């Protein structure tokens, strides 16, 4: 698939330090706008994701990621043997890094409740990275991501850039992106091997993330499905939230180029996005069935309109407001593609949008994105706050942004923690065999 050579990350941030990374190779990134009382406009080049992580609350994580990769490379040439003096120390340190990624117009403070629950219930084996500085520890072996809203797309882009195929296991040279993409069509999620920042990928979890963008009927529920609003908003989205707006509405880049979200449903020159997703042992999507004013059910659960079935009204035992769990195995597909008719529809949607051409363009893009993303398996968890005291806070309830106002989501977080613990237990058992 074609890539976009122009930098796509533009943000407003205050006191951003200058830092260069060597392992960022993507040519497209998510843009974001963050307003402070005092700020300067910064053009974030795709060769370095440091500023992107700074905005997303992952600055020191990515700094140490670069160091981790260097450490892994040097240790592999020495047989990966720890020094005797450090063996005891490593045993006492966490070996699983869990990264929390917030969305746009948010902050690490949104994870206060979640971080406390994770630390309390997961134990010392996990290093929970939210706001506190991430240590550069040689004990880390595994990595997981937990992301909310747009943070899920931030994380998807990041893992695509941080992904490396596991040469030591496969004893095969690095493949070109096109070859990986073709091989992935015939593979399942369990057959894809690789590392993220030199660590073994375990869990990739998103909460109310617009994986298919926000274009189309009720994908952005705030517009209430009103045709005139859904027609007007895409044209002003870039004014409101910068290039992130055009990326979410799938109108970024030239008409002849596939939008970033479509490229992120495959392996391409920008990054190994699909291989990175497939490398995780477990991928979970938590989606609000209703009352989410920012992200629709279809886009957060990666489903077609015809696949939306009214979920049960009753919560699962022990997990209030979690109403259904559906495992979707990987499906072989030759997608995604960006056909000529899509390029024409994109041009029309950009230059002279109307209900007909924007609907046509969105339907093509949505189908292609689903065809790409369904090539790895997903566990889809439906959440319904219909019985909550403040159901219209669903977008913030799902990750308990504030323990007092959004505590309806505590059952969802309990389900997240138990899912991580279950995967951790299976990993421990497999390692013991």
Residue 50 has pLDDT above 80, yes or no: no
Cα(99)–Cα(62) distance, integer angstroms: 11
4: in domain: no
342 Cβ contact partners less than 8 Å away, ≥ 6 residues apart = 258, 361, 364, 365, 368
402: in domain: yes
Task: State mean pLDDT over 321-345.
Answer: 91
25: in domain: no
Tokens of 209: 């993330």
Tell me: the pLDDT tens digits for 23-41? Answer: 333 345 554 332 222 222 2
Cα(373)–Cα(288) distance, integer angstroms: 19
Cα(32)–Cα(11) distance, integer angstroms: 5
pLDDT of residue 348: 83
Tokens of 432: 């013991």
Tell me: the pLDDT tens digits for 66-105? Answer: 434 333 333 333 333 334 444 445 567 899 999 999 998 8
34: in domain: no
Number of domains in the chain: 1
Place 193 in a pLDDT band, splitting at 50, 70 and 90. Answer: confident
Per DSSP, the residues of 406-419 read SGGGHHHHHHHHHH
227: in domain: yes
Phi and psi angles of residue 261, each rounded to the nearest 5 degrees, phi first: -65, -35
Triad 330, 331, 337: Cα angle to 5°: 115
98: in domain: yes
Q: Which domain holds residue 339?
A: 56-78+85-432
125: in domain: yes
Q: Which helix (H) or strand (E) holds 274?
A: helix 273-279
pLDDT of residue 376: 96
Our CA dihedral for 170, 173, 373, 394, rounded to 10 degrees, sits at: 80
Does residue 117 or residue 189 have the better pLDDT? Answer: 117
112: in domain: yes
Residue 395 has pLDDT above 60, yes or no: yes
Cα(361)–Cα(341) distance, integer angstroms: 9
Our CA dihedral for 221, 225, 230, 236, rounded to 10 degrees, sits at: -40
Model pTM? 0.76
């Amino acid at each position: 698939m074609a890539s976009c050579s122009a930098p796509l990350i533009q943000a407003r941030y205050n006191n951003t330090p200058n830092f260069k990374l060597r392992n960022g190779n993507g040519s497209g990134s998510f843009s974001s706008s963050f307003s402070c009382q005092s700020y300067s406009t910064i053009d974030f080049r795709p060769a370095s994701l440091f500023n992107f992580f700074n905005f997303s609350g992952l600055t020191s994580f990515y700094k140490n990621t670069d160091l981790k990769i260097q450490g892994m490379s040097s240790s592999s040439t020495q047989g990966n043997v720890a020094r005797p003096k450090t063996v005891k120390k490593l045993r006492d340190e966490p070996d699983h890094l869990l990264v929390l990624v917030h969305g746009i117009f948010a902050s690490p403070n949104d994870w206060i409740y979640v971080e406390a629950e994770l630390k309390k219930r997961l134990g010392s084996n996990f290093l929970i990275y939210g706001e506190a500085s991430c240590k550069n520890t040689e004990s880390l072996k595994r990595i997981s991501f937990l992301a909310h809203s747009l943070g899920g797309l931030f994380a998807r882009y990041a893992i695509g850039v941080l992904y490396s195929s596991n040469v030591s296991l496969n004893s095969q040279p690095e493949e070109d992106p096109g070859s990986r993409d073709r091989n992935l069509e015939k593979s399942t999620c369990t057959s894809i091997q690789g590392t993220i920042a030199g660590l073994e990928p375990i869990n990739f979890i998103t909460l109310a993330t617009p994986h298919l963008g926000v274009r189309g009927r009720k994908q952005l529920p705030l517009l209430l499905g009103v045709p005139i609003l859904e027609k007007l908003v895409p044209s002003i989205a870039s004014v409101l939230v910068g290039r992130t707006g055009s990326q979410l509405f799938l109108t970024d880049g030239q008409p002849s180029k596939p939008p970033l979200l479509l490229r992120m449903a495959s392996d391409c020159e920008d990054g190994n996005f699909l291989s990175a997703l497939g490398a995780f042992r477990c991928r979970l999507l938590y989606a609000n069935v209703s009352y989410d004013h920012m992200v629709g059910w279809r886009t957060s659960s990666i489903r077609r309109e015809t696949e939306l079935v009214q979920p049960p009204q009753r919560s699962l035992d022990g997990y209030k407001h979690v109403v259904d769990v559906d495992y979707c195995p990987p499906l072989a597909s030759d997608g995604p593609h960006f056909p000529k008719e899509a390029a024409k529809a994109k041009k029309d949607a950009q230059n002279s949008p109307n209900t007909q051409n924007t609907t046509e363009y969105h339907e093509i893009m949505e189908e292609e994105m689903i065809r790409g993303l369904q090539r790895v398996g997903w566990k889809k968890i439906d959440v319904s706050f219909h019985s909550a005291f403040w159901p219209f806070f669903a977008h913030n309830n799902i990750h308990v942004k504030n323990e007092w106002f959004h505590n309806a989501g505590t059952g969802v977080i309990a389900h997240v923690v138990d899912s991580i613990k279950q995967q951790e237990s299976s990993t421990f058992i497999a390692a013991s065999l």
